[in-house]
């Protein structure tokens, strides 16, 4: 069982035509989750969450699948449906993810992640290289690309690139 509470000082539109009013909004939910171990070549995770949400109710359904083709290659895909029923209006949020990971060595890994949702109608793609120079010293190179999915083709909307180094100094 989970407990949430959110408070808003101004009303906001959570979905076109659905406005959440000012105030304190507490709610509770329950969930059931089943899954297989991720240490197997193929795994599956299933979750259903039911209960309150802001001023109404929500049911969340999630399915994630993972496959490890070798100790170097990993793929995954997942999807979710959030069915939200509020006095102000009903709507559904659909999400999807896909990921691919290639591990060159325990110290060098490349990861590609794509995420979509129908609320923003955008696709986000994240490419990351992680290099562990030595334990406690890591370098990350990340490229994020956003795409607008409205219409019949993808239109790039934003790109960001970052390089991060984390070093641990012991004395």
Identify the CA nearest to 147 among candidates 113, 127, 120.
120
- Residue-range definition of the domain harbouring residue 121: 2-166
CA 94 vs. chain centroid, Å, equals 12
Residue 48's CATH number: 2.40.160.10
Kindly report the length of the chain. Answer: 171
> Could you give the number of structural domains in the chain?
1
Answer whether residue 171 is part of any domain: no
Answer whether residue 41 is part of any domain: yes
From first CA to last CA, the distance across the chain in angstroms is 44
pLDDT at 107: 95
pLDDT tens digits for range 116-140? 999 888 999 999 999 999 988 999 9
pLDDT at 152: 78
∠ at Cα 54 (90, 18), nearest 5°?
Answer: 40
Average pLDDT per run of 10 along the chain, which is 171 residues long? 86 91 91 92 96 93 96 96 95 96 96 94 95 93 93 88 92 81
Give the whole-angstrom CA distance, residue 99 versus residue 141: 17
pLDDT at 84: 96
pLDDT at 34: 95
pLDDT at 110: 98
Answer whether residue 162 is part of any domain: yes
Answer whether residue 38 is part of any domain: yes
Question: How does DSSP classify residue 72?
Answer: S
∠ at Cα 20 (97, 63), nearest 5°?
Answer: 20
Give the whole-angstrom CA distance, residue 72 versus residue 98: 17
pLDDT at 93: 95
């Amino acid at each position: 069982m989970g407990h949430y509470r959110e408070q808003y000082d101004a009303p906001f539109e959570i979905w076109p035509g659905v406005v959440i009013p000012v105030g304190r909004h507490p709610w509770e939910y329950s969930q059931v989750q089943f899954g297989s171990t991720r240490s197997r070549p193929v795994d599956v995770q299933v979750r259903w969450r039911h209960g309150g949400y802001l001023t109404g109710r929500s049911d969340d359904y999630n399915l994630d699948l993972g496959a490890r083709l070798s100790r170097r290659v990993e793929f995954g895909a997942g999807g979710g449906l959030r069915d939200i029923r509020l006095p102000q209006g009903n709507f559904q949020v659909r999400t999807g993810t896909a990921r691919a990971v290639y591990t060159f060595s325990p110290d060098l890994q490349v990861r590609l992640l794509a995420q979509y949702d129908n609320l923003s109608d955008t696709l986000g793609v994240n490419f990351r290289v992680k290099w562990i120079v030595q334990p406690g010293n890591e370098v990350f190179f990340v490229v994020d690309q956003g795409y607008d999915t409205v219409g019949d083709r993808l239109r790039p909307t934003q790109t960001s690139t970052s390089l991060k180094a984390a070093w641990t100094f012991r004395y």
